[in-house]
Amino acid sequence: MRFSLALAGATIVVAGLSGCTASSVPGSPDTAVATAEAQATASADATPESTLTLDELHESYIATGLPCEWVLTENVMSGSFESGVCRNSENTLNTFATQADLDGLLELNEASPATNLFLVGDLWVIGSESPEDLMTAQTSLGGTLWPADSPFFETD
């Protein structure tokens, strides 16, 4: 019995001297909590995916050569965070706070009898009645023409 206690005491002393604690033993509950906390902190500190502000979207849009006499508007699209309209073309520029908001807009339009045409990017949408404007904007902004199967986006 004395040998067991001495061995246990020596193990604790050696573990203490080497910096090994129960919380640093792989697989221990304390290690799992510390790892989860570190991952949560890393996620919170990570830079989110790049998204454009409405002003940046407008600047990128006009950099394509498309005209846009800019007017901020009430959120003209369902779920949009910020909206603006080009008065000279009625093209709309919209940003969204979440992907779910943007997806909701696309689902609403898909269920509509008259589907609108969009250029869809990372939490932003440009709406237009002119497929040519959307295809021109896509050359610089990227994004996806929506709905992709629209005959308006077919090129000869």
Higher pLDDT pick, 26 / 104: 104
- Which pLDDT belongs to residue 36? 41
Q: Name the CA dihedral angle for 63, 65, 67, 72, rounded to a multiple of 10 degrees.
A: -20
49 or 92, higher pLDDT:
92
Please tell me the distance from the alpha carbon of residue 155 to that of residue 69, in angstroms, as a whole number.
28
Q: What is the pLDDT averaged over residues 93-98?
A: 92
Query: Is residue 69 over pLDDT 80?
Result: yes
**By residue range, what is the domain housing residue 142?**
54-153
Q: Identify whether residues 40 and 19 lie together within a single domain.
A: yes
Do 35 and 95 belong to one domain? Answer: no
Examine the domain organization and report whether 21 and 69 are in the same domain.
no
Q: How would you class 124 by CB atoms within 10 Å of its CB: exposed for 0-12, middle for 13-18, buried for 19 or more?
A: buried
Q: Are residues 37 and 106 in the same domain?
A: no
Tell me the percentage of the chain whose pLDDT exceeds 70. Answer: 65
pLDDT band at residue 35 using 50, 70 and 90 as cut-offs:
very low
Candidates 85, 84, 83, 118; CA nearest to 103 is 118
Q: Are residues 58 and 90 in the same domain?
A: yes
Query: Do 60 and 38 share a domain, yes or no?
Result: no
* Least confident window among 45-54, 71-80, 83-92, 101-110: 45-54
pLDDT of residue 21: 41
**Are residue 41 and residue 58 in the same domain, yes or no?**
no
Q: What is the pTM for the complete model shown?
A: 0.64
Verify that 143 and 73 share a domain, yes or no.
yes
Same structural domain, 72 and 128:
yes
Are 11 and 75 contained in the same domain? no
Structural domain count of the chain: 2
Per-residue pLDDT at 24: 44
80: pLDDT strictly greater than 60: yes
| Position 100 confidence tier, pLDDT thresholds 50, 70, 90 | very high
Residues 6+ apart with CB under 8 A from 20: none
With 0-12 CB in 10 A as exposed, 13-18 as middle and 19+ as buried, what is 62?
middle
Is residue 74 located within the same domain as residue 138? yes
Residues 132 and 64 in one domain: yes
